[in-house]
Amino acid sequence: IRAKSVQKKKNYSHNVSFPLFPSTLNHLFAFSECPPLGLESLKVKDSQIQASSYKHMGLGPHRGRLNIQSAVEDRDIYDGAWCAEYKDQNEWLQIDAKKLTRFTAMILQGRSSIWSLDYVETFKVQVSNDTIKWKPCMNGTEEVFEGNRDSETPVLAILPEPAVAQYMRINPQTWFKNGTICLRAEIMGCELKAPRTNWDFRHHNYKEMRKLMKSVNQMCPDITCIYSIGKSYMGLKLCVIEISDNPGKHELGELEFRYVAGMHGNEVLGRELLLNLMEYICQEYKCGNQRIVHLVKETSIHLLPSMNPDGYEMAYKKGSELAGWSLGRYSYEGIDMNHNFADLNTVMWDAIELETDKSKLINHYFPIPEHYTSEDAMVK
């Protein structure tokens, strides 16, 4: 490929796909920003490549590797490509990078075969973190990328906006009119290494816990807020950090989750896990982890790291070598908080069996807000 033609990019208005000849493959890094994942080199294992369908084992997804060659004998079932069983726009080849990856480009070829002429002319690209929810990669204002015009010339398609995910799908849209859906591919991507704090998993006492929550709030002010649900018997605030795209605001119909730790004050693992969780969500959100971004935008997460700070402080001051198993377990007043929650399950199940109007049930200590029981309430 000539340097001049690279600059003009074949005059495509939104397309950044162009052919690669063997002499240009060595310069691929300059165009894609990231190295190949390793479909061609076999670094990507067969188990990491899946497909919506395939004609037979010799044209399975494990054959969809860049520059893989065709069989030359009549009885050899292995040919040079993945080929879908069906000819429609729902077929796909999927690559599992195994780790969070910054995808930047892909290379496509048609089928290497002495018997058939098959190649994909246009295709879409999607990424996912769980193979359930997929996000399309845009090619400017469109979703479609230019593919091949013959079966052998590799074509590089660069993502204008790199995509961060674990899985990538190539979804053919059009193909050679006298052929079928077949392709060989290589994916370009960089493993995403998110910056991390020096997590030493040490015990944070009350003051250190408050300080850490404040630092996370300062690091991610747009998606976090800190509030108190009251005070303990000894006057320590029960601090909660909310993580949401609109922290501090109730969004009708949005799922809300509350995680509570430290009900037994001398059991410390839960507190540290929630503190690490808030750090992790903040950092991954800032790095563009799409799974975390989706979580923050679609839910409201409330973390209460210490429900019994009085008990923790008592056990902390005494020290693990001198404190017994029960010191700090209960509240200052001797209440086991783990057994002091309102039991809503029993009365709700009884109501179902008796076909009682659940909106009129006794709800122990917690009144049901009217906007949840009204006819126009939204539940997501």
pLDDT per position as a tens digit, 103-129: 999 999 999 998 899 999 999 999 998
Say if CB 292 and CB 281 are below 8 A apart. Answer: yes
Helix (H, G, I), strand (E, B) or coil at 286: helix
Residue burial 308-343, b: 16+ Cβ < 10 Å; e: rest: bbbbbbbbbeeeeeebeeebbbbbbeeeebeeeeee
Residues 6+ apart with CB under 8 A from 94: 49, 50, 51, 61, 131, 167, 168, 169, 170
% residues pLDDT > 70 (the chain): 77
pLDDT above 50 (res 84) = yes
Q: What share of the chain in percent tops pLDDT 90?
A: 54
Listed range (218-232, 273-287, 325-339, 364-378) with the worst mean pLDDT? 364-378
Considering Cα of 245, then 165, then 152, then 30, what sign does the dihedral take? Answer: positive
pLDDT surpasses 70 at 303: yes
Cα separation, 120 vs 182, in Å, equals: 7
Write the CB contacts of 318 (distance below 8 Å, at least 6 apart in sequence).
327, 328
Does residue 292 surpass a pLDDT of 60?
Answer: yes
Q: Please give the single-letter amino acid code of residue 151.
A: S
Q: For position 265, what pLDDT does the model report? A: 84
What is the per-residue pLDDT for 19? 63
Residue 6 in this model has a pLDDT that exceeds 50? no
| Residue 106, token pair as written in the block | 């892909």
Among candidate residues 182, 43, 24, 165, the one with its CA nearest the CA of residue 104 = 165
Q: How far is C-alpha 17 from the chain's CA centre?
A: 27
Q: Which residue has the higher pLDDT, 19 or 228?
A: 228
Residue 16 has pLDDT above 80, yes or no: no
- The reported pLDDT for the residue numbered 94 is 98
Q: Per-residue pLDDT averaged across 50-75, rounded?
A: 92
**344: confidence class by pLDDT, cuts 50, 70, 90:** low
> Distance between CA atoms of 139 and 137, rounded to whole angstroms?
7
The model's confidence at residue 3, banded by pLDDT at 50, 70 and 90, is very low
Instruction: Inform me whether the pLDDT recorded for 11 exceeds 50.
Output: no
Closest CA to 222 of 299, 288, 285, 289: 285
Question: SS3 helix, strand, coil % of the chain, rounded to 5?
Answer: 25, 25, 45
Residue 8 has pLDDT above 50, yes or no: no
Q: Output the pTM of the full model.
A: 0.58
Q: Residue 76 — very low, low, confident or very high, per pLDDT cuts 50/70/90? A: confident
Query: What digits encode the pLDDT tens for the residues 190-218?
Result: 987 755 555 656 788 899 999 999 999 99
Position 64 scores a pLDDT of: 97
Q: How far apart are CA 363 and CA 40, in angstroms?
A: 62
Report the mean per-residue pLDDT for the chain: 82
Displacement of CA 237 from its chain's centroid (Å): 34
pLDDT, one tens digit per residue, over 134-182 is: 999 999 889 999 999 999 999 999 999 999 899 999 999 999 999 999 9
Number of C-beta neighbours around residue 376 at 10 A: 6
Q: Which domains does the chain have, with CATH numbers?
A: 46-191 (2.60.120.260), 206-318 (3.40.630.10), 344-373 (no CATH)
Distance CA 66, CA 39 (A): 7
Q: Which amino acid is at 285?
A: Y
Tokens of 52: 């919506």
Alpha-carbon distance of 368 to 347, in angstroms, equals 14
The residues facing 201 across adjacent strands are: none
- Give 365: exposed, middle or buried? Use CB within 10 Å, 0-12, 13-18, 19+: exposed
334 pLDDT band (50/70/90 cuts)?
Answer: confident
Residue 342, CA distances (Å) to 100, 305, 345, 348, 350 in order = 41, 20, 9, 12, 15
